[in-house]
Structure 1
Amino acid sequence: MKNRLTLFLLSFSLLAYGQAKQDTSKKLKEVVIKPYFSPQSLLRATGAVDIIDATALEKQLPQSFVAAMNTIAGLRMEERSPGSYRLSIRGSLLRSPFGIRNVKIYFDDFPLTDAGGNSYLNALDVAAAGSIQILKGPQSSLYGANSGGVILINSPQTGTTSPNSVALNVTGGSFGLFRQHLSLGKTWKKYRFNLTQAYQRSNGYRDHSGMERKYIQLSQQWDYSRSSNLKALFFYSDLHYETPGGLTAAQYALNPAWSRPAAGEIRSAVEQQAGIYSKTGFAGISNTWNINSNFKQVTAVFGSYTDFKNPFITNYEHRKEFTLGIRTYVSYEKKTTDVNWQFNLGLEGAGTHTDFSNRGNNFGEAGTLTAADQLHAATNFAFAHLHADLKEKLFIELSASANLYRYSYESTYPEIIAEKTNSFNTQIMPRLALSYLLVPEVSLRGSVSRGYSPPTLSEIRASDNIINVDLQPENGWNYETGLKYQAAGQRFILDVTGFYYRLKNAIVRRANENDTDYFINAGGTKQWGLETSLSGTIITPNQSHFIQGLQLSSAYTLSRFTFDDYFDRSVNLSGKSLTGVPKNMITSSISVQLSEHFNLFLQHTYSSRIPLTDANTVYANEYHLMQGRIGWKSLSIAGIPLEIFAGADNIFDSKYSLGNDLNAAGGRYLNAAATRNFYGGLTVNFQK
């Protein structure tokens, strides 16, 4: 059936292409990105950069970032249960069993990743993002410590096209899904604000997998002079989700909707009320000063506080995390007849203080104190960046950063340990990249960059409550080349990227028999990869035919990632495939605009089997996933525009695990994803 449906979609697109008269008078909007300080066309980007815009986000499942993120070649996002995100770029999932690590995330002008290395992406509601840029591969030269890549999230810019705007969305669906978000935009001359409020809850597909998130966000901009502006961002998130726990293969076969049962003296996930309670407040303010037509200066200060509680099967963890930081740079740009160039010089520094405490878990209640520690991480780096555009043909970028990372720790229970500091050597992270425009439609690019990522505080002090002072940073060199083709009017876009990444001191997770975790350095990895994406507008937007638009897109990821010089105790695992990484992933979609009212979107995702142990003795099965959405726009009530939409996820009703527990104790690797499910809702927009 899956093959027949694929052939049907292909035949349908070719038939539409042959029968519909093209309206070539409409040109699609040029895609402009801003990955390295200055706007540039996507065609001439020197690195592997992708963008998920507001239109793309709107087509995907409304309750999660997962489906949208997985349309990007080289990126994999998982959700072990509703609200429990994991994200990796080019295999970085290896050290991210319960969150997001070695990928740096920025929200507008501010780092969302704290100095301790943690990124609470699941604190954000989908409505918090207006667009997302993905920079694949090491970007330590400009964005500090990371070995996987960088995610740049931009907040919605409502209120920019009209002085007043209001949007209300309400969605309901299977497994008790309810989601609501409200957006307000207002402009007064030189001041603009955007307010986003959201609420989401779900019972989840599995037993004990419910979630609830309350979210509010405010972004503001004040153009207080002709040459300067202030931007401010604030959000507060109150997130709770239950963690059902991993299942063995036998339990998964009997009933994938089970939560983890009791085993011997270890209680079940339900008995222990296992889950996450996370409250996060974030605030940042940035000032841009355009000193003259060539010179500008940008300074951003930011801070966050997270209260994190995790009643787990075997203990009750409580963390209080407080972060303060600053990012500032100056930029000088000069344009001449033959050369346009820009130079940037800046620094970023942040400190995160974390109070850790662990107690016994008495049926979801914190019990007797078992361990208490305080850790402080400080990350500082200075960076310089130079780019030159020669006759709008050759684009060269040269950048580097000097990274300094240290942490201190002290213990108050069960024994008192005075404060000690562990500092890593200063690391120089260079990047050299270029792109060359062969013809107006084709560009070639290449880059060499070094990545660096120290262990996070949650890896230094894992759930075994032991401070691992021997854990070292991972680092490596990445070599990359690519080609991009962009037809006139952006009708068709082809992007092909090949890379080789040699990582040393790779950090991997280990699990003790009592279900506590610890991390070790595992030699290195060799990562050969190929990423391709193709998108085409078969029928350009028009108003003269029944089919008023037709777009196809596809992304393919080939990952030949293996361990290198890696021994697990006395066993040589060199040459084994990298844990948690499928060798092949394909995502394809079709978007159809029917008349001026109806739109249809279908997306198919394929993942090959996934190794779940470093020794490659256990694999998660391959799977196919189909989802779809249909919307009816151009409705109105009392003159207010209205859209009604409905969608389905896992249309094939595939049985698959999305968010496997790697190297899990007791063989509890599998976290079943939802069966076939549906959603529907409406959106009201008002602008004046």
Structure 2
Amino acid sequence: MKIFLTGLIVLAGITASAQTQQDSTRRLNEVTIRPYFSNQSLIRSTGSIGLIDSTILDRQLGNSFVSALNTVAGVRMEERSPGSYRLSIRGSLLRSPFGIRNIKIYLDDFPLTDAGGNSYLNALDVASASQIQILKGPQSSIYGANSGGVVLIQPQGSNAITNNNSIALKLEGGSFGSFHQNAVLQHQAEKYSLNITQAYQRSDGYRDHSGMERKYFQALQKWDYTKTASLKALLFYSDLHYNTPGGLTAEQYLQNPSSSRPAAGQTKSAIDQNAGIYSKTIYGGISNNWIINSHFKHVISVFSSYTDFKNPFITNYEKRKEFTLGLRSYLEYARSSSDVDWKFNIGLESMKTGTDFDNYDNNFGQPGAVQASDKLNANSNFAFAHLGIDISQKLLIELSASANLYGYNYRSIAPIAIPKKTNKFDVQFMPRIALSYLLDDQFSLRSSVSKGYSPPSLSEVRASNNVINIDLQPEYGWNYETGVRYEGLNKRLFVDVTGFYYNLKNAIVRRTVLINEKEADYFINAGGTKQWGLESSLAFWIIRTNGNNFIRGLQLRNSYTLSHFKFDKYIDKTKDFSGNNLTGVPKVTVINSTDVRLPKGFYLFLQHNYTSSIPLNDANTVYAKKYHLVQAKVGKKNLRIGKTLFEVYAGADNLLNEKYSLGNDLNALGGRYFNAAATRNFYGGLTICL
């Protein structure tokens, strides 16, 4: 574990990051999380978990999840243009030319990731979330197929206060025509709560042809209809459109980074083809929680979603209609004694997603002649069991496993009709063994071994080359990790360090090809990867929160990520990439932030992000340059006019005016790797609370 010991030395010389407290006044040891069915204190958790609470979300840019999620060690989120998300946890973006794959996302009790493997995170508005937990590393044992990790999003209204009724309105505007508005209505009675969140966002974008617009509505209801049972209902609707300016070559990027992809030969430009995404999603779920008696509890959730997706691309016009229906349920048995508490959970998750793929010629943003038409149905089913044993509030042991059954059927309609066929993968057994030991009230040790598994998504089986690739196999691998957590100096200091090794087999990677002088994607299985990593985070209250001093609170945070990720025995046709750095992964990222609380509700927030160079192709012949990002935010809370509270704030991003690409097109055909991010920009806003 040389890399692990090296990281401990590095940690001694750096300061601090936020794995963070529930709010600005709670002590770190009061932070509770719920990663594996039961509430746990963060210091005792057996896994590596990043926590983003409402305080962190409030300090970051309010028009995107990117800056908030990137504060977590081991997490990299990208946005090629406003609204175009990509997300990676401890791994590769090679599977995701756009969108999010090999990561499972849940919104409250309900899977946001469909059976086809796609997660429409960009359908959500930032205002819809109150807290985000990120479980790093494979979690297939109880969350089903994933090889990267799991994201658990708590929606607004999840932690409502009894008998609290409020209305909040937030308005924010900034550079490049950005505007974001959201309103939150909270009603809380003794047995019933309702939260309604509405949001609207638009932006012209920094680059040509990079505008976006999203309309969003979300409702969360809870009803305690008996003393032992409660019902929860979640509904959201999202109408999202964003233009896709396309990747630039190095020469184009240097000459005019704000330009969109120009025409070349017979290929039209992004503007000519009106390239973009039009996505409308409606999602609903109902969950019932029944405490049967002092030992047994049963939870059942049913959910469904429908997405109407259109993508006029430079070389074609794709339409997709996706319908998902699913169920998740588990039974819990708990028993306690003077020395041992234990809980046993057994359950299942089953869902089906049907997708109609239709591709047409793109005639200047309008669908033309049919290129291909296919219907695919994905079936994702897994049963899981989880045993947690807590001995003397010192030793926590977790044993969990799942049996995953995944398959899909397909039928081609055009250009050649092919009868329905089925492709099923072998049942996969996914275990996880983990433990943590509390040496004393300040120091804990933890270790875990888990297996990850991720079958190809429908968008990889049937990529933009319009060929159904039945030979594409799931990726899988074993993850080993160990870590320490420490809190000291009278609860003012919190340190979390993790070292891990992940050996991924059959890694799914993207390729591009020219077909009739038109570029298209397809996916293959590479030999695998060897991923050694170190992650550390630390939060230090230099001046604890108080009500008397000029500085009412001063906290420093830091996260550090070291990724020594290499291809292992990877040969593509005649090219041997074995031993090369994993494409799309920076070796080092460091995030530092300072949060200063001042009298009369004033505050100041500063953050610095260092990201090292990034390999952009498997051959490692092209790299994106390293960059430093600095952002700042100042504001004043607790302004009052009558009974109405106000907050005003202003901020700036990319203060150093760095030229960098946030969302590179990996292994891009023709060297079009670069999607320039915005230059120095400013914003300001107002929040009104009734």
CA distance in 1, matches of 2:178, 2:163: 33
User: CA offsets, 1:258-303, max 9 Å, x none?
Assistant: 0000000100000000000000000000000000122100000000
TM-score by length of 2: 0.95
Aligned to 2:664: 660
**Match for 1:599 among 588, 603, 608?**
603
The CA deviation at 1:93 is 1.6
Aligned to 1:85: 85
The CA deviation at 1:246 is 0.2
Aligned to 1:222: 223
CA distance in 1, matches of 2:202, 2:26: 41
Q: Specify the code of the residue in structure 2 equivalent to 1:227.
A: T
Q: Does residue 621 of structure 2 align to residue 617 of structure 1?
A: yes
Aligned to 1:341: 342
CA distance in 2, matches of 1:201, 1:582: 30
CA distance in 2, matches of 1:406, 1:486: 46
Distance 1:104 1:516, change over 3 A: same
**Match for 1:635 among 627, 632, 639?**
639
Q: Specify the code of the residue in structure 2 equivalent to 1:276.
A: I
SS of structure 1 residue aligned to 2:35: coil
* Structure 1: runs of 5+ lacking an equivalent: 1-12, 15-24
Q: Does residue 584 of structure 2 align to residue 589 of structure 1?
A: no
CA distance in 2, matches of 1:246, 1:300: 41
Say if 2:29 and 2:42, in contact at 8 Å, map to a contact too: no
The CA deviation at 1:478 is 0.3
Aligned to 2:146: 146
> After superposition, where does 1:176-575 map in structure 2 within 5 Å?
176-487=177-488, 490-513=491-514, 514-575=518-579
Q: Specify the code of the residue in structure 2 equivalent to 1:129.
A: A
Say if 1:30 and 1:490, in contact at 8 Å, map to a contact too: no
Say if 1:26 and 1:541, in contact at 8 Å, map to a contact too: no
SS of structure 2 residue aligned to 1:509: strand
The CA deviation at 1:161 is 4.7
Q: Specify the code of the residue in structure 2 equivalent to 1:236.
A: Y
User: CA offsets, 1:42-87, max 9 Å, x none?
Assistant: 0000010111001110000010000000000000000000000000
User: CA offsets, 1:378-406, max 9 Å, x none?
Assistant: 00000000010110111000000000000
Distance 1:482 1:29, change over 3 A: closer
CA RMSD of aligned residues (A): 1.2
The CA deviation at 1:438 is 1.0
CA distance in 1, matches of 2:524, 2:194: 46
CA distance in 1, matches of 2:320, 2:123: 16
Aligned to 1:7: none
Distance 1:26 1:670, change over 3 A: closer
CA distance in 2, matches of 1:605, 1:254: 25
Q: Does residue 682 of structure 2 align to residue 681 of structure 1?
A: no
Say if 1:159 and 1:165, in contact at 8 Å, map to a contact too: no
Aligned to 1:170: 171
Q: Does residue 56 of structure 2 align to residue 36 of structure 1?
A: no
SS of structure 2 residue aligned to 1:250: helix
Aligned to 2:6: none
SS of structure 1 residue aligned to 2:519: coil
CA distance in 1, matches of 2:177, 2:276: 18
SS of structure 1 residue aligned to 2:463: coil
CA distance in 1, matches of 2:347, 2:220: 24
SS of structure 1 residue aligned to 2:426: coil
Say if 1:548 and 1:596, in contact at 8 Å, map to a contact too: no
The CA deviation at 1:183 is 0.2
The CA deviation at 1:441 is 0.3
Say if 2:396 and 2:435, in contact at 8 Å, map to a contact too: yes
SS of structure 1 residue aligned to 2:314: coil
Aligned to 2:57: 57
Say if 2:107 and 2:152, in contact at 8 Å, map to a contact too: yes
CA distance in 1, matches of 2:143, 2:642: 48
CA distance in 2, matches of 1:622, 1:89: 20
CA distance in 1, matches of 2:56, 2:416: 53
Aligned to 1:73: 73
Aligned to 1:121: 121
- Using the aligned pairs only, state the percent identity: 65
The CA deviation at 1:27 is 4.9
CA distance in 2, matches of 1:187, 1:546: 36
Distance 1:213 1:173, change over 3 A: same
The CA deviation at 1:570 is 1.2
Distance 1:300 1:488, change over 3 A: farther
TM-score by length of 1: 0.95
User: CA offsets, 1:586-628, max 9 Å, x none?
Assistant: 0010000011320000110000000000010100000000011
User: CA offsets, 1:623-657, max 9 Å, x none?
Assistant: 00001111111101222010001100001000000
CA distance in 2, matches of 1:616, 1:28: 42
CA distance in 2, matches of 1:235, 1:192: 17
Distance 1:26 1:136, change over 3 A: closer
Tell me the number of residue pairs that the alignment of Structure 1 and Structure 2 aligns. 664
CA distance in 1, matches of 2:196, 2:610: 37
**Match for 2:648 among 644, 648, 651?**
644
SS of structure 2 residue aligned to 1:485: strand
User: CA offsets, 1:501-526, max 9 Å, x none?
Assistant: 00000000001132210000001000
Say if 1:104 and 1:113, in contact at 8 Å, map to a contact too: yes
User: CA offsets, 1:448-492, max 9 Å, x none?
Assistant: 000000000000000000000000000000000000001265311
CA distance in 2, matches of 1:489, 1:323: 49
User: CA offsets, 1:528-549, max 9 Å, x none?
Assistant: 0000001101111111111000
User: CA offsets, 1:219-253, max 9 Å, x none?
Assistant: 00000000000000000000000000000000000
